[in-house]
Amino acid sequence: MKLHNIINGEQLKEDLKSSHESRTTISFYKYANIANPPLFRDHLFYHWNNLGVLGRIYVAKEGINAQLSVPKKHLEAFKNELDSISFLKNIRLNYAVDDDGKSFFKLAIKVRNKIVADGLNDDLFDVSSPGNYLKVEEFNQLTDRDETVLIDMRNHYESEVGHFEGAWCPDVDTFREQLPLVVDKLADKKDKPIVMYCTGGIRCEKASAYLKHKGFKDVYHLEGGIIKYARDAEELGLKNKFIGKNFVFDERLNERISDDIIAKCHQCGDSFDDHTNCANKACNLLFIQCPKCASKFAGTCSEDCKSINALPEEEQKKLRKGKDTGVRIFSKGRFKR
């Protein structure tokens, strides 16, 4: 059995679109000591592929970070497989809030140096000593206090479409860029309650430990992140302080948490909060585009990309040959082409 995908990605996307299989989107993470990440990676691929699991998973010596789509008929078998792995037994699973079952089209498990690119030297501080976890009611109570500093530990394009009321949302492109900025900007608030949140909790797990290392004395982070918060607030009948959408790193790109639209189309400025990728594959820019501009620019981010995208496919392939076609991000105020 080949322990990797052998079918063309475009075909897999089409298969997913036409599939009527009932699936659920799950995410989880765990910091743990994995002695042989490549071997562990192959073990996961073999078992999860047999269950029809799709998703994007990063494995490193420091642990695992997973976003998955699991067939509902195999959900119990999947959870049993997790429980058979000692450090994943009874792991907390975050279930998507707004799920159409079309979040991932293939299974990709990759070995990385870290499960989140944070730029930190973990040997310099105790990564196993994060800040205090907050459940939804505790989070609401603590963030109601005037002295509390609430920080969105996500990138600007995530917080642009949704964030918690009163949060500081740093204008950064990467988590690596954000950590030193937060430490510097809050240098005079080391005795204040610092509350952090992110999508599912993994970034805050490391960031809260780092802030403690830097002398912050009262550090907290939202258990399970935005995903768990939204579910728990609804189930418990508590106030949901998150406004807008929660950005997610899969085919959905977002999940609606509240009806508020706080973002604007990057081309015309109208209120809108749906992200898309430029239809010109050589560009692939991630940006916000309203239906009016999508029609005007044929799904591209500019007149130049519109012209390129109108060329025959063979000519487009020649133009992007040898170029990096990975996802680029629309950077607020510092748009790079």
CA dist 289 and 214 (Å) reads 40
Termini Cα distance of the chain: 42
Residue spans of beta strands (DSSP E) within 167-261: 194-197, 219-222, 242-247, 254-256
CA dist 161 and 274 (Å) reads 8
Please answer whether residues 214 and 206 qualify as being in contact, where contact means their C-beta atoms are separated by less than 8 angstroms. no
Rg (CA), the chain: 21
Please answer whether residues 199 and 247 qualify as being in contact, where contact means their C-beta atoms are separated by less than 8 angstroms. yes
- Among residues 207, 64, 219, 30, which one has the least CA distance to residue 125? 207
Q: Which of 198, 283, 290, 293 is catalytic?
A: 198
- Among residues 21, 28, 26, 27, which one has the least CA distance to residue 52? 21
Contacts of 165 by beta carbon, 8 Å cutoff, 6+ apart? 143, 241, 242, 243
| Catalytic-residue membership of 198 | yes
- Tokens standing for residue 90: 């009874």
Contacts of 11 by beta carbon, 8 Å cutoff, 6+ apart? none
Q: Which residue, chain included where needed, has tokens 């007149």? A: 303
- Among residues 96, 127, 133, which one has the least CA distance to residue 114? 127
Q: Which residue, chain included where needed, has tokens 């997790």? A: 82
Please answer whether residues 213 and 124 qualify as being in contact, where contact means their C-beta atoms are separated by less than 8 angstroms. yes
- Tokens standing for residue 294: 């999508």
- Among residues 63, 68, 13, which one has the least CA distance to residue 45? 68
Residue 116 has what DSSP assignment? S
List, by residue number, the catalytic residues: 198
